[in-house]
Amino acid sequence: MTIERPAARPANPRFSSGPCAKPPTFELNKLAGVALGRSHRAAVGKDKLKAAIEGTRELLGIPADYRIGIVPASDTGAVEMALWSLLGERKVEMLAWESFGAGWVTDVVKQLKIDAEVKTADYGQIVDLASIDFNNDVVFTWNGTTSGVRVPNGDWIADDRAGLTICDATSAAFAMDLPWDKLDVTTFSWQKVLGGEAAHGMLILSPRAVERLESYTPAWPLPKIFRLTKGGKLIEGIFQGATINTPSMLAVEDYLFALDWARSVGGLQGLIARADANAQAIFDFCDQNDWIDNLAEDPATRSNTSVCLKFTDPRIRDGASFAKAVAKRLEVENVALDIGAYRDAPAGLRIWCGGTVETSDIQAMLPWLKWAFEAEIAAQAEAA
């Protein structure tokens, strides 16, 4: 049996969940203004770092009294700096429903050896958000990139909390509304929703997080790369573009380009609308096809960036090799790259829907997904 190939192909087959697609208008020559071979501490370098900080504040609507720092080691660096610098002052609750959240649990429980209360849920589900005690410090991931499950909003976070909220928002920032009054520490990396380069992370601190930094010293040693205070005072320079160590000015220039592009599509609300439209095209496809479904069980928790899918056809014999074979067919056809589920996640696909992806490309890719599914079902029957 021959299964007909769709006529149209996506103009851009890049649907990776990180590094994510560059902004559609990106070209390398648009970075020609980069301050290469200059000191990041010279005015030209420092001005660009400041512009990256203030552009982030403007686009994400971050309050003027929150500090925004550019830190080493991408989102991982930003999260770990926060965990190592802030935790241990009071009880900690760790929330995890996929592999990145689980990684932060390992950091806190096995490395820092904090006796934390760990709340976990399986892939596709979320923890009971009503059960959290905000007298504790609470660490969570806004959007679980490897399960496609996100918190529905910030309403579950207490306004009058005594503890801090530490939120890994790397696949949420620039695609979802983040309620800054509920978030004491927020992190993300440039390589995600804006399609920037990796290497640097963003660390956003509320005044309460700064207060903690200035009033509490952890029992464990902190390497220079994690140190946010000196003599009990916040190192303000970090939050004004005087980075702890040398940043990549090329990555900075690329981020500035991405911020400009974000402004050109209507800023945060424009970016959210683009991600929503992309994800909706996939949700509709799942509704129309009974062999595929969203991994996220509750529609209120479905991600609009890292949309994770599972195959549900009872004819499928080996779920993991079936999903891999479908992803491979799509890659060979150059219609969808890097859409296999994350290595620790259940078998399936993960399609990035952040704002740098064009809805027309998602729409052009989906008939290919149906084609690849049918081709693989046929191949499985032939092999039997």
Ligand X SMILES: Cc1ncc(COP(=O)(O)O)c(C=O)c1O
Residue count at the site for ligand X (CB under 6 A)? 13
C-beta of 366: minimal distance to ligand X in Å? 24
Whose Cβ is closer to ligand X: residue 329's or residue 350's?
350
- Residues 345/144, Cβ–Cβ less than 8 Å: no
Site string for ligand X, 166-185 (x = CB under 6 A): --x-xx--------------
**One residue of 198, 250, 273, 325 binding ligand X per CB under 6 A:** 198
C-beta of 71: minimal distance to ligand X in Å? 11
Q: Which of residues 115-174 bind ligand X (CB under 6 A)?
A: 141, 145, 168, 170-171
Whose Cβ is closer to ligand X: residue 98's or residue 137's?
98
Q: Which of residues 14-33 bind ligand X (CB under 6 A)?
A: 18
**Which distant-in-sequence residues (6+ apart) come within 8 Å of 194 by Cβ?**
20, 23, 174, 255, 258, 259, 261, 262, 354, 355, 356
C-beta of 234: minimal distance to ligand X in Å? 23
**One residue of 35, 75, 244, 373 binding ligand X per CB under 6 A:** 75
The answer, yes or no, to whether the previous bond of 19 is cis (omega within 30 of 0) is yes
For 133-172, b/e burial (b = at least 16 CB within 10 A) is ebebbbbbbbbbbbbbbbbeebeebeeebebbbbbbbbbb
C-beta of 111: minimal distance to ligand X in Å? 16
How many angstroms separate the CA atoms of 204 and 183, rounded?
A: 9
Residue type, 279: A
**One residue of 56, 147, 165, 191 binding ligand X per CB under 6 A:** 191
- Structure tokens that stand for 41 in this block: 């501490």
Which range touches ligand X (CB under 6 A), out of 73-81, 151-159, 267-275, 359-367? 73-81
- Structure tokens that stand for 86 in this block: 């802030």
C-beta of 300: minimal distance to ligand X in Å? 19
Q: Which of residues 201-240 bind ligand X (CB under 6 A)?
A: none
Q: Which of residues 312-351 bind ligand X (CB under 6 A)?
A: none
100 binds ligand X (CB under 6 A): yes
Backbone angles phi, psi at 202, to 5 degrees: -110, 130
C-beta of 171: minimal distance to ligand X in Å? 5
Strands, E assignment, the chain: 67-72, 92-96, 117-120, 137-141, 143-144, 149-150, 165-168, 185-189, 200-205, 229-230, 233-234, 292-294, 306-311, 349-352
- Site residues for ligand X per CB under 6 A: 18, 74-76, 100, 141, 145, 168, 170-171, 189, 191, 198
